[in-house]
């Protein structure tokens, strides 16, 4: 299927690893001009540039959009993927009392305000070009509250709200906004030293490898019995930002191995 992305300009945040890297590579392979944004460099095929940015800096989103306009003439696609544990933070955290005010502020700064600022910077450029497509990467935790990572889930719930609101306001001007809600994805968040798999390993009394292969899927009641592959998220995002999805807006699409159970 031709996704009709050739020549379109895409910004992908959090593009150095995991979901963001898979998205950036996929869009580049489909012929898009990719502006990959992250704190660490990344190499991509095709017409792509890396913009080093810390999205905790309120001025960074506007600089990223300005660079996209300078390099490629505009912005057609924005994938707000940056998020998860803020720099220096290890998740999961267990229980509501585990996070203090500073933890909540940092979590919202990284997972919500960076998204808000990127949208604020990109939408006027998209409108001037006749429209565009935004995908915000949220989390199944936004719709499945529990006593783990409460601040993270709350921030992602707010991301879902923002996406719906912006899709309603700017839909008539050609800007589509959708949300992807992954379940547990096999990324650095889980696999790195000191990451989620090791934290859960210490609680569950299982090896890191067993946590990834069995304990976590069982704990989160994943129907597929495994963590999600980042490429599965990237493929869905590529379709959502494509003109092939021209009537899809305001949608929250779970890709979570069956994590969410409600109707």
Could you tell me the residue ranges of all domains in the chain? 9-185+229-255, 186-227
Is residue 152 annotated as a catalytic residue, yes or no? yes
Confidence of residue 232 (pLDDT cuts 50, 70, 90): very high
Report the pLDDT value the prediction gives residue 94, as an integer from 0 to 100: 93
List 108, 152, 170, 259, catalytic entry? 152
Query: Helix 114-128 crosses helix 60-72 at what angle (to 10 degrees)?
Result: 30
Percent of the chain past pLDDT 90, that is, above it, reads 89
Q: Are 111 and 159 in contact (CB under 8 A)?
A: yes
Report the pLDDT value the prediction gives residue 46, as an integer from 0 to 100: 84
Q: Are 51 and 67 in contact (CB under 8 A)?
A: yes
What predicted TM-score, i.e. pTM, was given to this entire model? 0.96
| 132-137 and 77-80 beta bridge pairing | parallel
- Proportion of the chain in helix, strand, coil states, percent, rounded to 5: 45, 15, 35
Could you tell me which of 94, 87, 185 has the C-alpha nearest to residue 139?
Answer: 185
Confidence of residue 262 (pLDDT cuts 50, 70, 90): confident
User: pLDDT digits over 194-205, tens only?
Assistant: 888 998 999 899
For the chain, state the CA radius of gyration. 18
Class of domain 9-185+229-255: alpha beta
Confidence of residue 252 (pLDDT cuts 50, 70, 90): very high
How far apart (Å, rounded) are the C-alpha atoms in residues 249 and 135? 10
User: pLDDT digits over 47-99, tens only?
Assistant: 899 999 999 999 999 999 999 999 999 999 999 999 999 998 988 999 999 99
User: pLDDT digits over 20-49, tens only?
Assistant: 999 999 999 999 999 999 999 988 888 899
Report the pLDDT value the prediction gives residue 263, as an integer from 0 to 100: 80
Q: Please give the distance of CA 148 from its chain centroid, rounded to a whole number.
A: 20
Report the pLDDT value the prediction gives residue 234, as an integer from 0 to 100: 98
Report the pLDDT value the prediction gives residue 166, as an integer from 0 to 100: 98
């Amino acid at each position: 299927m031709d996704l009709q992305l050739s020549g379109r300009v895409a910004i992908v945040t959090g593009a150095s690893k995991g979901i963001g890297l898979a998205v950036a590579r996929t869009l580049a392979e489909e012929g898009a001009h990719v502006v990959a944004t992250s704190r660490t460099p990344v190499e991509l095929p095709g017409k792509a540039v890396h913009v080093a940015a810390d999205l905790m800096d309120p001025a960074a989103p506007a600089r990223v959009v300005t660079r996209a306009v300078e390099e490629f003439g505009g912005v057609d696609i924005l994938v707000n993927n940056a998020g998860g544990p803020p720099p220096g933070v290890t998740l999961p955290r267990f229980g509501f009392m585990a996070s203090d005010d500073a933890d909540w502020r940092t979590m919202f700064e990284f997972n919500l305000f960076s998204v808000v600022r990127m949208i604020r910077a990109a939408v006027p450029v998209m409108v001037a070009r006749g429209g565009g497509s935004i995908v915000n990467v949220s989390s199944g935790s936004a719709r499945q509250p529990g006593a783990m990572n409460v601040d993270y889930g709350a921030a992602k719930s707010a991301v879902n709200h923002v996406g719906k609101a912006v899709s309603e306001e700017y839909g008539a001007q050609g800007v589509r906004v959708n949300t992807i809600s992954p379940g547990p994805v096999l990324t650095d968040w889980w696999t790195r030293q000191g990451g989620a798999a090791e934290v859960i390993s210490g609680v569950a009394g299982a090896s890191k490898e067993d946590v990834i292969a069995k304990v976590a899927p069982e704990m989160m009641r994943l129907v597929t019995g495994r963590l999600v592959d980042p490429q599965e998220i990237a493929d869905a995002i590529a379709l959502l930002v494509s003109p092939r999805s021209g009537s899809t807006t305001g949608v929250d699409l779970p890709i979570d191995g069956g994590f969410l159970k409600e109707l």
